[in-house]
């Protein structure tokens, strides 16, 4: 039985990953910054252990790892599904402190997670980051989001190249709006659901060799109704 640590578990995507991992019978540790949100999102009777912690520093990441590992004795895979508030103004109008804070929340969190958990995962383990599809296109007034997504893609690509003998390293770019707990009633039919994303994440963790990556993309569902996963550039 696999044990999965999901960091950023209270977000829409994180909740979908936790739910699908539990459907497979895996042990799951759900981690996020706020203990109250974790308690609201997950029921101990569902077999989900919860850990409050953050990735703002190496010390915080290490504390999160050790607290999670104590729950089941070992961790086989880690999913990093964290992001911070988005900036919605023309990029030229942003202050450097705003840009730096945006990168700290959306990119450096993944870097801190990787450098603390990757050395502690077995070679047959998996480290998987969740990224955004705007790595490849621009939404007006949200240029920093695209910059962050592109930086995150290059981070995971470089991490995989520099650590070929370590655990399998993947990033899943979600190129879609997401229908989850926060917006299910107003979501459009073509949006990916939290359950669909969770299903694909679990498939990658179960058999990473079938998804060689390291960068994978999950797009809006096509006309046949199933969202395709493909290698991304």
* 55-68 pLDDT tens trace: 999 999 999 999 99
Q: How far is CA 119 from CA 59, 110, 125, 165, 223, in A?
A: 15, 14, 11, 11, 42
Find the Cα–Cα–Cα–Cα dihedral 95, 98, 101, 103, rounded to 10°: -80
pLDDT tens column, 17-34 = 999 999 999 999 999 999
d(CA 16, CA 37): 15
Q: Summarize the chain as % helix, strand, coil (round to 5).
A: 45, 20, 35
List CB contacts of 78: < 8 A, sequence separation 6 or more.
4, 5, 6, 7, 113, 117, 121, 125, 126, 127, 128
| Distances in whole angstroms, Cα of residue 81 to Cα of each of 89, 96, 141 | 24, 25, 23
In the block, residue with structure tokens 């998987």: 128
Report the pLDDT value the prediction gives residue 84, as an integer from 0 to 100: 82
Q: Quick count: other Cβ atoms within 10 Å of Cβ 152?
A: 26
Closest CA to 218 of 181, 192, 194, 180: 192
Query: CATH number of the domain that 51 lies in?
Result: 3.40.50.720
pLDDT given for residue 224 in this prediction: 39
Which residues of the chain carry a pLDDT beneath 70?
Answer: 44-45, 221-233
Residue 161 confidence (pLDDT):
97
Please report the pLDDT score of residue 227 as a whole number: 58
State the residue range of the domain holding 140.
Answer: 3-231
Residue 43: predicted pLDDT: 80
Domain count, the chain: 1
What's the CA gap between 121 and 225, in Å, rounded? 36
Cut 0.85: pTM above it:
yes
pLDDT for the residue 87 = 83
211 upstream amide cis, omega within 30 of 0: no
Q: Containing H/E element for 48?
A: strand 48-52
**What per-residue confidence (pLDDT) applies to 223?**
39
Provide the CA 86 distance to its chain's centre, in angstroms: 16
Answer for the pair 208, 79: CB distance below 8 angstroms, yes or no. no
Helix (H) or strand (E) holding 60: helix 58-72
CA nearest neighbour of 57 among 104, 14, 103: 104
**Lookup: tokens for 192:** 């990916």
């Amino acid at each position: 039985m696999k044990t999965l640590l999901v960091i950023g578990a209270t977000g829409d995507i994180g909740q979908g990953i936790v739910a699908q991992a539990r459907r497979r019978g895996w042990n799951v540790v759900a981690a996020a910054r706020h203990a109250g949100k974790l308690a609201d999102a997950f029921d101990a009777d569902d077999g989900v252990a919860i850990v409050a912690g953050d990735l703002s520093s190496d010390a915080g990441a290490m504390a999160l790892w050790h607290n999670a590992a104590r729950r089941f004795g070992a961790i086989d895979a880690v999913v990093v599904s964290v992001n911070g508030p988005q900036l919605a103004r023309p990029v030229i109008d942003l202050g450097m402190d705003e840009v730096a804070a945006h990168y700290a929340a959306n990119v450096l969190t993944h870097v801190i997670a990787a450098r603390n958990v990757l050395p502690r995962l077995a070679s047959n383990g998996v480290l998987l980051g969740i990224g955004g599809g705007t790595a490849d296109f621009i939404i007006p007034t949200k240029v920093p989001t695209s910059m962050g997504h592109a930086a995150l893609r290059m981070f995971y690509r470089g991490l995989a190249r520099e650590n070929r003998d370590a655990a399998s390293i993947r990033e899943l770019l979600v190129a879609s709006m997401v229908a989850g707990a926060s917006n299910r009633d107003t979501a459009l039919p073509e949006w990916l659901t939290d359950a669909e994303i969770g299903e694909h994440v679990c498939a990658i963790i179960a058999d990473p060799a079938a998804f060689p990556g390291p960068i994978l993309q999950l797009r809006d569902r096509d006309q046949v109704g199933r969202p395709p996963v493909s290698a991304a550039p």
